[in-house]
Amino acid sequence: MKISKIYFLIYIVMIASCDKKAERSKEIISSQKTQFPKGQIIDLTHDFSEETIYWVTAKEFEMEVVAKGITDKGYYYAANNFATAEHGGTHIDAPIHFAENTQTVDEIPLSNLIGNAIKIDVSENSIASPDYLISIEDLKNWEEENGEISKGSIILLETGFSKLYPDKLKYLGTKERGEEAVKKLHFPGLAPEAAKWLVENRNIHAIGIDTPSIDYGQSQDFQSHISLLSNNIPAFENLTNLDKLPSKDFQVIALPMKIKGGSGAPLRIIAILN
Ligand SMILES: [Zn+2]
């Protein structure tokens, strides 16, 4: 009896290890299927420092040096603490930011954050006009030249405003902070009807812009945020280097800090050209 029990146990252990091996080989097969793009890599991220631009009511970036220098044991050691609001610098807005019972930042599927991307450049109109609203016509103009925005695209909107970063007066429209400063914000954004048009007529995975917000500075009711986020389309804000991207045929990888329950998070976003 005892021996047969032992055999039975060995049998169970063997089955379990076979399952693990099968799982591992599945992982390897799927990673082999994913061809890593080999083109030029462009960083679309501003660095985080005391100059980082935050929403005028949000806590700004703080870094505290814990250690920097040669220790008494003779080796060099550096470490810091940092604190940040979710919505500042280059960051992501998770759907939950403006839409109840939707995805928090840790719940956004990776398939929304990695994929084929396009760039819509309106900088010629927006750079001289801080209240510029990117219109349905701007989207359609891009399509006339490049074909219909394909399913699952990540759309990046170039207003040219990243060139003004981190000058608060030029980039935000005000150097002031606090509730009163919100009314003084002037920067371009996506028109609410254009956001609605994208949601209703195109199937996109994410959207990004080189200004502090997907809604323009003078927005009172954040309707572009609401349209996009309530349809689980996350938004990337305060992007840079969009002028280095072509209009289409490139990939984006946008990986935010995985804050459990977060409404947004600091984001490292890169583009890979074909
Ligand atoms: Zn945000």
pLDDT for position 33: 58
> What pLDDT digit, counting tens, does each position of 231-274 carry?
999 999 999 999 999 999 999 999 999 999 999 999 999 999 98
Instruction: Say if 120 falls within a structural domain.
Output: yes
Instruction: Say if 248 falls within a structural domain.
Output: yes
First to last CA, the chain: 65
Distance 265 CA to ligand 1 centre (A): 8
Q: By residue range, what is the domain housing residue 98?
A: 41-46+87-273
pLDDT for position 155: 98
Instruction: Say if 52 falls within a structural domain.
Output: no
Instruction: Say if 159 falls within a structural domain.
Output: yes
How far is 240 from 270, CA to CA, in rounded Å? 10
pLDDT for position 175: 96
pLDDT for position 6: 52
The helix/strand/coil state of 79 is strand
Q: Which residue has the tokens 């280059």?
A: 90
pLDDT for position 131: 98
How far is 221 from 241, CA to CA, in rounded Å? 29
Instruction: Say if 228 falls within a structural domain.
Output: yes
Instruction: Say if 55 falls within a structural domain.
Output: no
Distance 239 CA to ligand 1 centre (A): 12
Distance 221 CA to ligand 1 centre (A): 14
Which residues are close to ligand 1, an ion, with C-beta < 5 A? 87, 93, 237, 264
Instruction: Say if 82 falls within a structural domain.
Output: no
How far is 88 from 246, CA to CA, in rounded Å? 26
Distance 35 CA to ligand 1 centre (A): 31
Low-confidence ranges of the chain (pLDDT < 50): 1, 13, 18, 29
Q: The CATH number of the domain where 204 resides is what? A: 3.50.30.50
Tokens representing residue 3 in the block: 């021996």
Give the angle subtended at the CA of 60 by the CAs of 54 and 65, to the nearest 5°: 140
pLDDT for position 123: 98
Looking at the DSSP bridge assignments, the partners of residue 43 are: 270
Instruction: Say if 141 falls within a structural domain.
Output: yes
Its sign, for the CA torsion 115, 109, 221, 213, is: negative
Q: How many domains does the chain have?
A: 1
pLDDT for position 38: 81
> What pLDDT digit, counting tens, does each position of 18-51 carry?
455 555 555 554 555 556 778 999 999 999 999 9
